[in-house]
Structure 1
Amino acid sequence: MSDAREEGGFWLYDLRVETVLDGRAPVCRHVEGESFRVEGETLVFDGAQRVSMYALAALLPLLPARQRPTDAADWMSTDAEVACPDPHCGGRFRIVRAGRRWFDHAATTGLPEARGTPYWQQEDGQ
């Protein structure tokens, strides 16, 4: 049963994407432990963390799907690692769900008749 708040919005998982190596030397610039976060639509890099643009291009289509609730048996719920797109590279990226964040529909839509204050301009600082 959903509460009244859920009727006008949705939950997304925050994600942490961390570089892991599988024992093979990376061909691309992958450093074990480097990471970034996904909070709503935003990629958050701390300090001097870096990610290959080619690896990021492979990861980007999967991130919105991983943010959404899925069935426990769905591969999107169980398979947390994505390989670097270079077949000779040992780099992998572990995508971990790290908490949930509520988004109000009016704060995230582009539809003029349904629009509210954008979520990133709201006082709670999401």
Structure 2
Amino acid sequence: MTEPQAAPGFTAPAPRLRVVVDRAESPRCGLRVGDGVVIDGSTIVTHGREFCSAALAAVAPVLAARQYPLPVDDWLVRKPYVSCPHADDRVVLRIEELREECR
């Protein structure tokens, strides 16, 4: 197993994350590819747009884990995708880390 990305004893600020709709084949909630929210610490920023609560609920359990250093071979780093719980909607969300220049 590979070492975490941060050195032991080093406390880096939690990275800003973006949860973005990667695929949306037949969503009843109105989500479209490219729609997303920004996770800044414990704050969710929607940029004035609505975002499906079921989709957020699906991704919420892994957000805290993604804000800590993970081994480079961790599944959440390699395949950062989460499916919406409404299987008929076929919505897939991608979690990506935002670079500091995006602040």
Same fold (TM over 0.5): yes
Tell me if structure 1 keeps the 8 A contact 2:26–2:88.
no
Structure whose residues are more often strand by fraction? 1
Distance in 2 of aligned mates of 1:21 and 1:11: 30
- Counterpart residue type for residue 29 of structure 2: C
Query: How many residues align structurally?
Result: 95
AA partner of residue 13 (structure 1):
P
Query: Contact 2:83/2:91 (CA < 8 Å) preserved in 1?
Result: yes
Contact 2:18 2:38 (C-alpha < 8 Å) held by counterparts: yes
In the alignment, the residues of structure 2 paired with residue 78 and residue 37 of structure 1 have an alpha-carbon distance, to the nearest angstrom, of 20
How big is the shift at 1:27?
3.3
Counterpart CA distance in 2 for 1:83 and 1:27 is 15
Equivalences for residues 1-126 of structure 1 within 5 A: 6=10, 9-21=11-23, 24-47=25-48, 49-99=49-99
4+ residue runs of structure 1 moved beyond 4 angstroms? none
- Give the TM-score of the pair, scaled to structure 1: 0.65
Identical amino acids, percent of aligned pairs: 29
Q: Comparing both chains, which one has the higher relative contact order based on Cα–Cα distances under 8 Å and sequence gaps of 6 or more? A: 2
Corresponding residue for residue 103 of structure 1? none
Partner SS for 2:66: helix
In structure 1, runs of 5+ residues without a counterpart are 101-126
Deviation at 1:88, TM superposition (A): 1.1
Structure ID, larger Rg: 1
Residue type of the partner of 2:22?
A: V
Question: How far 1:19 moved relative to its partner?
Answer: 1.3
Superposed CA RMSD in Å reads: 2.4
Please, which runs of 5 or more residues in structure 2 have no aligned partner? 1-5
Separation in structure 2 between the aligned mates of residue 74 and residue 29 of structure 1, nearest angstrom: 31
